[in-house]
Every structure is written in structure tokens, then in C-alpha cells.
């Protein structure tokens, strides 16, 4: 009985190294075997289809100047995809477009928001002259302007001024004459600003002086007063643009303006 036990122990002792070697081999080769995966078929990426193009012409109903049409076209060109093509037709106030259906829909939405009627304003200038404490005269001038446009008003005379002559003899037919506007000139541009309006205006008043020029007896001396600036107006509330003294005596002149939304 003891002999059998010794033989069994001996057999077990001989099997242990063999089992350890098998386990070590499994540990070494198992990760490599697990990393191997069956090859798969690689398919080439299919090219994306090019979206179709469409064409449409948009007619702008509230455009009054070439700059308005250019502004809308520039906004569309900067917003739409690079593939979109835009062409303006100034004689028709229209923009022709070629692009994808998505570009056409976006352009339609943008034009509906941009092509809106502009407001119209009425500006009333009041020029008051006083001599001391007495009011000697008041003049009113009204201008109707579309937002963003520039209007010019002139009232006065055109005075001929001899600027030179040519030829050997200084006769009438050889005299060079230019005409100078003398009187009142108002240049104005207005646009909406918060609850009022932003006004850019220039008033120029010229008149002939009594003294004569030292250059020649035919050359007059022209007096000029210019009031140029930018103002913020509240609708219905007069704003004093300037007050200044006039030459000769105690005369004084004040210029006011009031803005209203024209109906």
C-alpha cells in the first residue's frame, strides 16, 4: 500500500512541470490568437450626390435707388452658399438667382424681410430774425424726405460773376461769366433713430455785401453763413440748431427744426 502511494506522488510531481508549461504557453499565445479577427471586405465611400439647382427672379417693390438694390444683393451674396449665383437688373428692380432649392427658400425669406417700405418724414425749418427784443421776421420751410435719402432746397438768386476774359481785346463776347447761388440752401438727410430721428443737415445763407471787391468793380463781395451738423430729434419737439448775430446792429437769427412722421 505504501508503494502505491509513493508511485502516485512521483507521477504527480512529474506532471506539475508539464501542466505549468501548458499554462504558460496558453498565457503567451492566447492574446495573439484573440487579436486575430477574420478579414472583412472594405467598400469604397460613395460620392455624395450634387443637389439640383433652381432658378428664380425676385422683384423688389420698395427699392427707390441703385444703392438699395446693391445692399440687398450684397447681403444675399454674403449669406447664401458659394454655389449661389446672383445677378441684379436695375431697370426692373429685380434680382435673378440660380442655386439649390434651400438657397432659393432662404433668399425668398431674406428679401421678404429686407424689401420693406421706408418711412417718410416731414422736416419744418423755422428761421426767426430779431432786432433787439422785437421780432422782425419769421420764415418756415418744409421738406418731405424718405428715410435715408438726401434732399436739397434752394431759394434765392443766381448772380453773374466775371471770372476772366480771353483774347487780345476785352470785349463782351470774350468775357467768361460764372453764376453764383445767393440765398438760402438747405441740405438734409434723415433716418429713424430709437423713438425719434437722426438728422444730418447743412444750412447755408449767402447775401451780397454793400462793399465792393478790390479785385475789380464787377466782382461782388458775398457774405456766407453755414450751419452744418448732426442732430437727434424727438418727433413733434422743436430743436434749436443754432443762434447767431447778424452783421450791422443788434440783429439776431435763430434756426429751429421739428420732425414728424409723414402720413
pLDDT tens-digit readout, 13-54: 565 566 666 665 556 555 554 445 555 555 666 777 766 888
Return the pLDDT at 28: 55
pLDDT band with cut points at 50, 70 and 90 for residue 202: very high
User: Would you say residue 192 has pLDDT above 60?
Assistant: yes
**What are the tens digits of pLDDT across the range 171-185?**
555 677 788 889 999
Return the pLDDT at 39: 55
User: Would you say residue 11 has pLDDT above 80?
Assistant: no
Mean pLDDT, residues 94-101 taken together: 94
User: Would you say residue 3 has pLDDT above 50?
Assistant: no
Mean pLDDT, residues 154-183 taken together: 74
219/191 Cα distance (integer angstroms): 41
Average pLDDT score, the chain: 81
Return the pLDDT at 214: 62
pLDDT band with cut points at 50, 70 and 90 for residue 63: confident
Return the pLDDT at 248: 66
| Residue with the larger pLDDT of the pair 57 and 177 | 57
Beta strand 94-99 pairing with 54-59: antiparallel
User: Would you say residue 57 has pLDDT above 90?
Assistant: yes
> 183 in the Ramachandran plot: left (φ > 0), alpha (ψ -120 to 50) or beta?
left
Nearest to 140 by CA among 192, 184, 190: 184
- The whole model's pTM is what? 0.65
The phi, psi pair for 67, rounded to 5°, reads -65, -35
User: Would you say residue 1 has pLDDT above 70?
Assistant: no
Return the pLDDT at 9: 59
Return the pLDDT at 112: 93
| Residue with the larger pLDDT of the pair 162 and 121 | 121
pLDDT band with cut points at 50, 70 and 90 for residue 151: very high
Return the pLDDT at 12: 52
Domains of the chain: 54-114 (3.30.1370.120), 120-261 (no CATH)
pLDDT band with cut points at 50, 70 and 90 for residue 102: very high
Amino acid at each position: 500500500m505504501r508503494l502505491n502511494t509513493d508511485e502516485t506522488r512521483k507521477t504527480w510531481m512529474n506532471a506539475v512541470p508539464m501542466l505549468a508549461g501548458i499554462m504558460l504557453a496558453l498565457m503567451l499565445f492566447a492574446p495573439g490568437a484573440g487579436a486575430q479577427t477574420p478579414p472583412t471586405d472594405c467598400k469604397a465611400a460613395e460620392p455624395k450626390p450634387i443637389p439640383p439647382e433652381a432658378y428664380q427672379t425676385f422683384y423688389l417693390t420698395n427699392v427707390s435707388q441703385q444703392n438699395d438694390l446693391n445692399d440687398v444683393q450684397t447681403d444675399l451674396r454674403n449669406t447664401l452658399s458659394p454655389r449661389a449665383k446672383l445677378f441684379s437688373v436695375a431697370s426692373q428692380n429685380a434680382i435673378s438667382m440660380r442655386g439649390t432649392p434651400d438657397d432659393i427658400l432662404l433668399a425668398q425669406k431674406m428679401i421678404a424681410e429686407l424689401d420693406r417700405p421706408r418711412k417718410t418724414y416731414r422736416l419744418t425749418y423755422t428761421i426767426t430774425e430779431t432786432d433787439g427784443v422785437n421780432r422782425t421776421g419769421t420764415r418756415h420751410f418744409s421738406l418731405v424726405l424718405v428715410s435715408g435719402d438726401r434732399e436739397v432746397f434752394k431759394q434765392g438768386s443766381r448772380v453773374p460773376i466775371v471770372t476772366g476774359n480771353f483774347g487780345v481785346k476785352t470785349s463782351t463776347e470774350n468775357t467768361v461769366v460764372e453764376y453764383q447761388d445767393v440765398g438760402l440752401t438747405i441740405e438734409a438727410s434723415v433716418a429713424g433713430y430709437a423713438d425719434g430721428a437722426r438728422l444730418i443737415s447743412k444750412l447755408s445763407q449767402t447775401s451780397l455785401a454793400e462793399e465792393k471787391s478790390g479785385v475789380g468793380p464787377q466782382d461782388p463781395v458775398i457774405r456766407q453763413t453755414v450751419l452744418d451738423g448732426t442732430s437727434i430729434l424727438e418727433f413733434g419737439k422743436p430743436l434749436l440748431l443754432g443762434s447767431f448775430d447778424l452783421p450791422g446792429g443788434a440783429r439776431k437769427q435763430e434756426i429751429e427744426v421739428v420732425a414728424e412722421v409723414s402720413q
